[in-house]
Structure 1
Amino acid sequence: MEHHVYVAMFGALPDQPTGLAVSVLRRAQAFATKGITTEILVDTFTPDYDGHANRLRALGRLSDLTIVRSMYNDLAGQPQYGSSTLYVSPLGGDGWEYVQDDKRSEAWRGRENGTYRHFVWMRGEQVHFIDHMHNNQRVRREWHDVAGRVCKIELMNSENKPELIRYLDRGGFCYLEELMDSVTGKLRGIVLNQVEGTSLFFRTKVDLFRHWMQHHVLNGDASPTIISEYGLRRTALEALERENNARVIYTVHNNHFPSPYTYGEVRADMRDFFDHMHKYTDVIVLTEEQRIDIWKQYGHLESVQVIPHHMPKSTGVGPRDEKKVVVLGRFHDMKGQLDVVRAFPAVLKTVPEAKLEFYGRGPDEEKIRAEIVSLGLEKSARVVGFTNDSYQVFSEAAVSVVASDYEGFCLSLAESMASGCVPVSYDVKYGPRALIRNGVDGLLVEHGNLRELADAMTYLLNNDDRRKQMARSAMEVLSTLSESRFLDDWMQVLEDKIVKGRATQGDEVVPSEDHITESVHAG
């Protein structure tokens, strides 16, 4: 049995996690109960990464058997900052004046002796980045870590595009450089500088990831198991398989079809991964429907397994407002919050005391607020903002709504059901129809049908006895998505007890080291 797994993370690992980050953290917690160590590998640059990791551990989101590593810390050869790290503000002192923007509270403008020189973006009480200005033109952007030190510098050209990006260690040494095309803004190459004066050149970030994995993470580990979230960095992972006798388990967390997100061609950003589907030993999807769609397109591959997320028992304590509807998720057009706002006036005609609350964060927040005002719903609807406790939100509401264009599984839908908050959901790929027994523990409605969406909310708010019966049925999801079932499924995969068929045709991985060029600094 495998006692250590590496997780190649997609994106950052914030201290207020959502979606993929939540599922990765919950999986690691579950694995820990079986004595399995999970090493979460973050290759996305986050200037305050150390603070996020420390807060996750302080909040109990990281068990003693969960390790979090940053590619950038490893390449810089520096440990993670401790939780008691002293912060020193990088803002100017005497002669400087900083004024907060009247619309964006995070934005400040700094003037030195009356001359505009700094545009500052804050995260809480700490500086996130500073744009250095000259004659009202941004010449460079400096990113700051949790100690206030500069950790990344973007040098701008006359078109306000980065032409060179430098990453600095805590001593100010530039350990990594990204060379940018000044016209297109695309990456031309990456230089990893060594303290002894040599450097390595990489064509892509995937090549850099491979180097980090090979020389810093695996570092001689025999036959490691790597879980790759979203199936990215395929070429690097295939090389790591070959060079380390590694086993790579790919996970798919999202709908793989483009708009309108129904069966058809594969999304452009996922096409390379799916084009090589026959080569993989293990692919984990979240719903049976997605597996069947893959089989229809690529043939019957036993390597494709279904392991849904698991749901911890709800910790929400109420009290439940029998007229409250909640929507929880990223504020983004594909999540359909505007559809819910536009459907709600019809609900109020029959249930005038109904309330609608939105929880989340994202680029469409102001659009949602504006639509509430435009429809005159200020007394009935509001945007609350981000919550760290989705279970508490759902335990206080009668109905939840998922109006997404697509989902991979929809954790918030399962959390709503686990909390006894009856869901109304668009019947989209994937997840809603795998979780909801229509009319038994929730209601499925046609995607984009605002009248049906309004009628479903109205029905549940107007029929307390029926809704309460459905709420009891919804909580049965806790047994369907239990941790024991989840672990049994994953143990089958990790212990390789599933007999899998894998086609051997297709492109072969050719051993090569030409992704790296070694050179010596002159001078």
Structure 2
Amino acid sequence: MATGKSLFSRFRPQAKDTANSGATSVTNSSNIVSLPADATKVTLSTTPRCYRMMLMGAFAAHPGNGLVISVLRRAQVLRDRGNQVEIVAFPFDARYRHSAQTVAKKWKFGETIRLRNPFAELAGDEYNAKAPSVDPLPAGAGWEIVADPADAKNRRAYENGVYRQFIYSDAKTRVVFIDYLDEKSARFKRSWHDNSGRIIKFEYFNAQNKPVNVEYVHNDGSVHLTAKVNEQGKEHHFELSLPDGRTGFFNTLGSLETWWLINFVFGADIWNPVISEYGFRAAVFEEVAKQRKISVAYALHNLHLTAPYSYGSAIKPELVPFFNDIKKYDAVVALTDEQRLDLVRSLDCSDNVFVIPHHFEPQRYASEKAPHSVVMSSRVVRYKGHFDAVSVWPRIVKEFPDAVLHIYGTGPDLEALRKEVNTAGLESSVLLHGFERDIVRKVSEVEIAIFPSQFEGFALSLIESMAAGTVPVAYDFKYGAQAMIEHGVNGFITERSNAVELADSVIYLMKNPKILKSMSDSSKKIVEKYNARRLGDDWIGLFDELECRFESKTNA
């Protein structure tokens, strides 16, 4: 536990000479934390804690986005420092059990990292416990199940020739839900099933085919939670009746989540450190704090601004309520100094805004790189800049006819991008590979990585590329390019939206292999700055500070 003065700097300045400054500096990997002149060292807490990380969305069996991956890596780092970690995903998810089992196994969570979900726990479901398989398909005399020849995921069940059920399955034919139909083939009910086949939720529909009521099914087969559904599809007016006799009525989902956190998650007598991914549940934690000892650090994972994504641009509408109250939070954690400084200048909130970047650990890389090769690895959406890259690719191919641009990823604009490539006659030099599970190795096989994004939250893929020695050429987007790339040393930063400068930077590197090699060697040093030790020190140091503040406030 931290004692005495706060030793955790709210600013993360670059390393500098402090020999004559009257202050002592302690190197923490990439950062220098400035301490009072009478301080000799920073002592981070070694007392084990239980860190709770609150996700915005549901789990995925194979996490693909940077936010979830960064949370899982952070959990491992804190676990490896002797702490317990619980990762909470709030939404109801029929795939929760399967996703939790898969993630826990793949990421080697063991007993010290636990995944949690309120709907699963209220239903008495523990993902690590074995569940007997149940066949949810109708069977018996008179029933016939017919597969849809156009889509193997869809099946229809007929009872004595009458269409009664529509069955939707995943790619492995596991039943996800079943729609029940009346005599007029109108849907009146839907059952949701977990990966064992067990029914975990019923939805009931009105004559307009809109859900109006839901029932959640306990492991023992009883209905333990009911709710109404409004015209916007939001559940409300929850009634809880657990097998152990506990009951409750909750007007909103937020009040149900608050009750669950108080009664299932947070102990009554201990201080609880919480990391919330974004601030969409700030009101929930505010209510929890009235009954439990918690300090919440809200982690920002993306740009908070709207177009044109520059200082002074409007805040994203969905984030306005959170940022309106930014001064009252225990901590808000940005990923870069640039974002933090934008926040403190525009919102006057320096006392509780910190900077803790993500980290990346070296992986197995290819031993050689293909000459004149370029790569983009990201979700295929227009703001990522794929169309900018394709528009200037002929400029690169004119100089180097053997040049190849490898694009990995999927997204809503993939087919439009494919059409653009085909229309330009670039099929042989711009290769759309789609999703790639071992993306780091693929990136390591390429000489140059381009990042023509309009904005990023942190660009974890930029660190991945640099760690592999793949030299980055990036637009000067907010946020992350300036934090990771030293222009002309380990990559290039070009004017945002200037695709010609981007292309000329690529051409320059291809024409100068010695410079390319030097930049490649320099880019690999990124792992010295964004490593696990630094990440662990920063988060533990932050909560040392927050615990100290909590105790000071409590004892005041």
TM-score, normalised to structure 1, is 0.87
The residue number in structure 1 matching 2:424 is: 375
User: Alpha-carbon deviation of 1:86?
Assistant: 5.2
Distance 1:150 1:198 in 2: 22
The answer on whether the counterparts of 2:457 and 2:480 sit within 8 Å (CA) in structure 1 is: yes
Change (3 A) 1:342 1:121: farther
**Among residues 10, 15, 29, which one is paired with 2:56 in the alignment?**
10
SS of structure 1 residue aligned to 2:350: coil
SS of structure 1 residue aligned to 2:289: helix
The residue number in structure 2 matching 1:255 is: 303
Distance 1:137 1:218 in 2: 45
Change (3 A) 1:72 1:348: same
**Among residues 56, 74, 81, which one is paired with 1:34 in the alignment?**
81
Distance 1:410 1:425 in 2: 10
Distance 2:290 2:224 in 1: 28
Distance 1:127 1:334 in 2: 36
The residue number in structure 2 matching 1:513 is: none
SS of structure 2 residue aligned to 1:467: helix
The total of aligned residue pairs comes to 497
The residue number in structure 1 matching 2:286 is: 238
Distance 2:260 2:391 in 1: 48
SS of structure 2 residue aligned to 1:438: coil
Q: Taking every aligned residue pair, what percent have the same amino acid on both sides? A: 32
Task: Kindly provide the amino acid, as one letter, of the partner of residue 74 in structure 2.
Answer: R
Distance 1:497 1:76 in 2: 34
- Paired residues for 1:46-57 under 5 Å: 46-57=93-104
Distance 2:123 2:547 in 1: 41
SS of structure 2 residue aligned to 1:124: coil
Verify: 1:490 aligned to 2:539, yes or no: yes
Distance 1:499 1:297 in 2: 28
> RMSD in angstroms over aligned alpha carbons?
2.8
The answer on whether the counterparts of 1:308 and 1:481 sit within 8 Å (CA) in structure 2 is: yes
The residue number in structure 2 matching 1:320 is: 369
The residue number in structure 1 matching 2:486 is: 437
**Among residues 238, 252, 256, which one is paired with 1:190 in the alignment?**
238
The residue number in structure 2 matching 1:207 is: 255
Q: What do the CA deviations read for 1:33-64 (whole angstroms, capped 9, x no partner)?
A: 21111111111222121222222222234254
Change (3 A) 1:444 1:132: farther
The residue number in structure 1 matching 2:200 is: 151
Distance 2:431 2:62 in 1: 21
**Among residues 173, 180, 187, which one is paired with 2:222 in the alignment?**
173
Change (3 A) 1:271 1:366: same
Question: Is there any run of 5+ residues in structure 1 with no aligned partner, and where?
Answer: 505-523
The residue number in structure 2 matching 1:481 is: 530
User: Alpha-carbon deviation of 1:22?
Assistant: 0.9
**Among residues 447, 450, 475, which one is paired with 1:398 in the alignment?**
447
Distance 2:351 2:115 in 1: 32
Distance 1:286 1:160 in 2: 44
Q: What do the CA deviations read for 1:408-432 (whole angstroms, capped 9, x no partner)?
A: 1111111111111112222111111
Verify: 1:217 aligned to 2:270, yes or no: no
Q: What do the CA deviations read for 1:134-154 (whole angstroms, capped 9, x no partner)?
A: 656544443321102222333
Q: What do the CA deviations read for 1:300-345 (whole angstroms, capped 9, x no partner)?
A: 5232111111111232234422233222222334333333333333
SS of structure 1 residue aligned to 2:463: helix
Task: Kindly provide the amino acid, as one letter, of the partner of residue 118 in structure 1.
Answer: F
Question: Is there any run of 5+ residues in structure 2 with no aligned partner, and where?
Answer: 1-44
Q: What do the CA deviations read for 1:252-285 (whole angstroms, capped 9, x no partner)?
A: 1111112222223322111121111111222211
**Among residues 118, 122, 140, which one is paired with 1:75 in the alignment?**
122
Q: What do the CA deviations read for 1:96-145 (whole angstroms, capped 9, x no partner)?
A: 1102436xx6x424253484842524143423334445656544443321
The answer on whether the counterparts of 1:369 and 1:382 sit within 8 Å (CA) in structure 2 is: no
Change (3 A) 1:160 1:488: same
TM-score, normalised to structure 2, is 0.82
The answer on whether the counterparts of 1:89 and 1:126 sit within 8 Å (CA) in structure 2 is: no
